[in-house]
A and B are shown apart, each in its own frame.
Chain A
Amino acid sequence: MSGRDPRSDAPGARSPATQVDGAAGPHPAAQRDPNQFAPRLVGRRRWGVAFQVICLVATLVGVVVLALLLVDIIMDGAGRLSLAFLDNFPSRFADRSGVKPALWGSAWALLLTVVIAFPLGVGTAIWLEEYAPDNRFTRLVETNIANLAGVPSIVYGILGLALFVRAMAMGRTLLAAGATLALLILPVIVVASQEALKAVPGSIRLGAYALGATRWEAVRYHVFPLALPGILTGTILALSRAVGETAPVIMVGALAFMSYVPDHPLDDGFTVLPFQLYSWVAKPGADFQELAAATGIVLLVLLLVMNGGAIYLRNKFTGER
């Protein structure tokens, strides 16, 4: 080491262990030769730009296909859209066909689904976030819910068929459909609600407890209201998924030709919008294709309204915070 070490009198003088390794030989840095580097900057830059373009194109593929899909369905079905279309029943004659029972069926199904799924889903989320101890059972419940989210929707349909339609003898009714769809979207609501509850700061809970509130009182009066916008947003998004589901509805026994609007959830026979679309698209003939497309438009408009509402809700309340 060089003699000009101004720190040799400093406290904690260096021990041999901290000397640079290999100090005996030529200093490592003396061997460096920058000429061995060939950064090829231009080539790397060019490739970087090319790659960025490739990635952008990949991103746009989905956008372009979506646009094609929307244009296609609107062009096919717009001709059939009319108030009569919304008011008619399906018929052998395409010009007289309409989606009235499907529209009402979807509305009923939506109502039943939310009435069943919302309390169950939000209740589960509250229990998981506010009540459940951190033990194996809780983790099991959470893992189970995550797995349920990945079960194919048609398997839920099989469950609905065997359990609601047959075992609980609900028959092929809107109630059975609503219950099946409720189970399908339950994991979605639970996860969304959990997120909303997690987002409420712990200080709120602590403040309530410090005033002598029980856990339920803290949740009901303090945590839940703050989490509500997030919960509602998540629920609406889950419901919009339920509205578009066909496979479980097929299994539960929707009818292709409904000639009446069900009076109540246990009225035998029902149909919903996506199933009506499916029935028509399976039939030969351009007429029925157009009817299917028109049904698709109605369905998409409904989803647009629901999702738009959810986003509006989210923006309104995150803006306020």
Chain B
Amino acid sequence: MSTHASTVAESTTDSIHTPPGPHELEARALSVLYGETRAVKDVSIKIPDRKVVAFIGPSGCGKSTLLRCFNRMNDLIPGARVEGEALFQGQNLYERGVDPVDVRRRIGMVFQKPNPFPKSIHDNIAFGPRINGYSGDMGELVERSLRQAALWEEVKDRLDASALALSGGQQQRLCIARALAVEPEVLLMDEPASALDPIATQKIEDLIYELKRDYTVVIVTHNMQQAARVSDYTAFLYMGELVEYGATKGIFTNPREDRTEAYITGRFG
């Protein structure tokens, strides 16, 4: 049950290489069912701290569903059932008595399509801290969050303007700033750049690279080049199962599994 992994990579199978170093976030035999359909099948994976892990796989392989297990967003879908464990700092997130509201503050999420609230830029960022009882200097927190999201210089003179007036890329960075404002320890990103143009995408990718200094980042992406650019470790999922997991370079240059290779070379998905 130790959360301190050994310095030598463990592997449960040949294709699942757990990264070295500490890992606070972990899934153990995790399954998600919608009614009769099993969207995530018995996945066990350890996410290393302060690194970027990418989940890749064809549409419908369960990568987003798996991601959403870590902040209990699947609770919001009627009929969704979770089996197994999702652990954060040693505690099973799905245990009775664990408050999902608490989980979600500490494990933040950024969505595929930017979803800023129809409020001002300032209020978008202040919303999370306010409801979570932030007692410090809000203005300072807002500035800090916007700086972390590389948006401060662009909006510092118009914090009262509507967030909807920003471009798509700016809105997504705003959503990242918003997520960071509640000072999570983990940041989950569900295809954060797929709705953005290439320039905005690049900015997001640069941002992710910076963020991993202070946050554990898990990113779902269907863009393999992006996964290769941005992540330290990559997990390939197929039809709800974890097929292969390991250092990104290794996955993309020398995949062990046939399915992984087929996906990476574009034969399907």
Task: Check whether chain A touches chain B (CB < 8 angstroms).
Answer: yes
Query: B99 near A20 (CB under 8 angstroms)?
Result: no
B residues 172-220 touching A (CB-CB < 8 Å): 180, 182-183, 202-203, 206-207, 209-211, 213-215
CB nearest neighbor in A for B206 = A18
A residues 93-139 touching B (CB-CB < 8 Å): none
A18 — which chain B residues lie within 8 A by C-beta? 150, 202-203, 206
A interface with B by C-beta (< 8 Å): 5, 7, 10, 12, 14, 18-22, 27-34, 36-41, 44-45
CB nearest neighbor in A for B140 = A31
Query: A20 near B210 (CB under 8 angstroms)?
Result: yes
Query: B207 near A27 (CB under 8 angstroms)?
Result: no
Query: A37 near B133 (CB under 8 angstroms)?
Result: yes
Q: Can you name 19 extra interface pairs (CB under 8 A) apart from A21-B153, A37-B129?
A: A10-B229, A18-B203, A19-B150, A20-B148, A20-B207, A21-B147, A22-B147, A28-B144, A29-B180, A29-B211, A29-B215, A34-B183, A36-B135, A37-B132, A37-B133, A37-B134, A38-B135, A39-B105, A45-B99
| Measured CA separation A98–B171 after assembly (Å) | 70
Query: B213 near A37 (CB under 8 angstroms)?
Result: no
| Measured CA separation A34–B107 after assembly (Å) | 13
Chain A contact residues: helix, strand, loop or mixed: loop
Chain B, residues 145-159, CB within 8 Å of chain A (1/0): the string is: 111101111000000
| Measured CA separation A44–B135 after assembly (Å) | 16
B182 — which chain A residues lie within 8 A by C-beta? 37
**Interface size of B as a range:** 20 to 34
| Measured CA separation A31–B213 after assembly (Å) | 13
| Measured CA separation A10–B230 after assembly (Å) | 11
| Measured CA separation A177–B136 after assembly (Å) | 70
B101 within 8 A of A: yes
B129 — which chain A residues lie within 8 A by C-beta? 37
Query: B133 near A29 (CB under 8 angstroms)?
Result: no
Q: A18-B202, A39-B132, A41-B101 are in contact. Are A29 and B148 (CB under 8 A)?
A: yes
| Measured CA separation A130–B190 after assembly (Å) | 43
B258 within 8 A of A: no
Q: A12-B202, A32-B183 are in contact. Are A37 and B105 (CB under 8 A)?
A: yes
| Measured CA separation A314–B185 after assembly (Å) | 53
| Measured CA separation A39–B99 after assembly (Å) | 11
Query: A29 near B213 (CB under 8 angstroms)?
Result: yes
Query: B99 near A41 (CB under 8 angstroms)?
Result: yes
CB nearest neighbor in B for A7 = B229
Cβ-neighbour of A22 out of B132, B134, B152 (below 8 A) = B152
B36 within 8 A of A: no
B203 — which chain A residues lie within 8 A by C-beta? 18
